[in-house]
């Protein structure tokens, strides 16, 4: 098959590993910078052009869409879908997962475990919002943040109020979540492909840091999920319509809690921690589903 990886940088670990895995299985792999694609909308003839050439002979695409270009990247994915090209991440699922608030609402409706979360429209009554999620310490997150950027642990009521007031003054949309102390600065990343957890790792924050993101200096080790953790990760990916997903879980006294669901999860950390060919699992997903 001919498979396109939609990525702005062919040298990124995740992109290069997917290309390598596809080539090892005999597929023609092409990296396409979706930010440089042109979309032509015409009756019954959707087209995508890249560097002046029409892209009309792909069997599948693997979107690696960064958060900063979600709108245009999703439009490109949607155009390929209109051309009957299989996508490992559907456009609607991509949009849904990038909206953190909507994601939490969908997961909550499905009865999955979540940290208690508050959201307000720049209300000045911030002390009440903090109280509603259990008081300080609490976690304050930018809705558009990624890789731990825009995430603050407010350890006191006063600190939480100050952070919220500052974000409100900047008209930055944030959510406030209860702090799961028993997680101990660690979380679990479960990597789901086609309804199966193909790898899982536990990420531990470095000393003095509560964010466990590897980009923040956290460490990762392989972990065996409990049946409840595995079921939660699989259900979260399914409900959001994601064929490929990184589901981040917190271990709490009341069971696994979903912190976030990533529609373009990185491969470097999970492959290093588990020593598994996660990129190959994505290629096999295409082989099973692409027409």
Q: What is the Cα–Cα distance from 27 to 62, expressed in whole angstroms?
A: 13
Mean pLDDT, rounded, of the chain: 91
Please check the confidence at residue 137 and state whether its pLDDT lies above 60.
yes
Q: What are phi and psi of 107, to 5 degrees?
A: -65, -35
Range with the poorest average pLDDT among 21-35, 156-170, 245-259, 268-282: 156-170
CB atoms within 10 A of CB 138: 27
Q: Go through the domains of the chain in sequence order and give each one's CATH number.
A: 2-89 (3.40.50.20), 106-111+182-263 (3.30.470.20), 117-179 (3.30.1490.20)
DSSP annotation string for 4-51: EEE-S-TTSHHHHHHHHHHHHTT-EEEEE-GGGEEEE--TT--EEEET
Q: What are phi and psi of 9, to 5 degrees?
A: -145, 110
Please state, for a pLDDT cut of 90, what percent of the chain lies above it. Answer: 70
Render pLDDT for 195-233 as a digit per residue (tens, 0 to 9): 999 999 998 876 655 555 555 556 789 999 999 999 999
> How long is the chain?
291
* pLDDT confidence of residue 218: 67
Please state, for a pLDDT cut of 70, what percent of the chain lies above it. Answer: 93
């Amino acid at each position: 098959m001919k498979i396109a990886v939609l990525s702005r940088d062919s040298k990124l670990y995740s992109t290069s590993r997917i290309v390598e895995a596809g080539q090892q299985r005999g597929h023609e792999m092409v990296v396409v910078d979706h930010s440089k694609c042109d979309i032509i909308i015409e009756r019954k003839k959707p087209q995508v052009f890249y560097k002046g050439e029409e892209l009309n002979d792909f069997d599948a695409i693997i979107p690696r869409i960064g958060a900063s270009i979600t709108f245009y990247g999703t439009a490109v994915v949607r155009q390929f879908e209109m051309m009957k090209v299989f996508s490992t991440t559907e456009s609607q699922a991509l949009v849904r997962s990038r909206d953190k608030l909507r994601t939490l609402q969908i997961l909550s409706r499905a009865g999955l475990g979540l940290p208690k979360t508050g959201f307000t429209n720049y209300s000045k009554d911030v002390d009440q919002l903090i109280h509603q999620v259990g008081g300080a310490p609490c976690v304050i997150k930018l809705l558009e943040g990624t890789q731990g950027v825009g995430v603050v642990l407010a350890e006191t009521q006063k600190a939480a109020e100050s952070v919220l007031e500052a974000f409100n003054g900047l008209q930055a949309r944030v959510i406030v979540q209860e702090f799961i102390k028993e997680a101990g600065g660690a979380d679990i990343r479960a990597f789901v492909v086609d309804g199966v957890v193909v790898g899982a790792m536990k990420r531990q924050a470095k000393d003095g840091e509560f964010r466990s993101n590897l980009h923040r200096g956290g460490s990762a080790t392989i972990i065996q999920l409990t049946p409840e953790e595995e079921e939660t990760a699989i259900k979260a990916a399914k409900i959001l319509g994601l064929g490929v997903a990184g589901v981040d879980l917190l271990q709490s006294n009341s069971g696994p809690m979903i912190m976030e669901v990533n529609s373009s999860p990185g491969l470097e950390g999970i492959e290093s921690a588990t020593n598994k060919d996660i990129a190959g699992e994505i290629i096999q997903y295409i082989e099973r589903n692409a027409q």
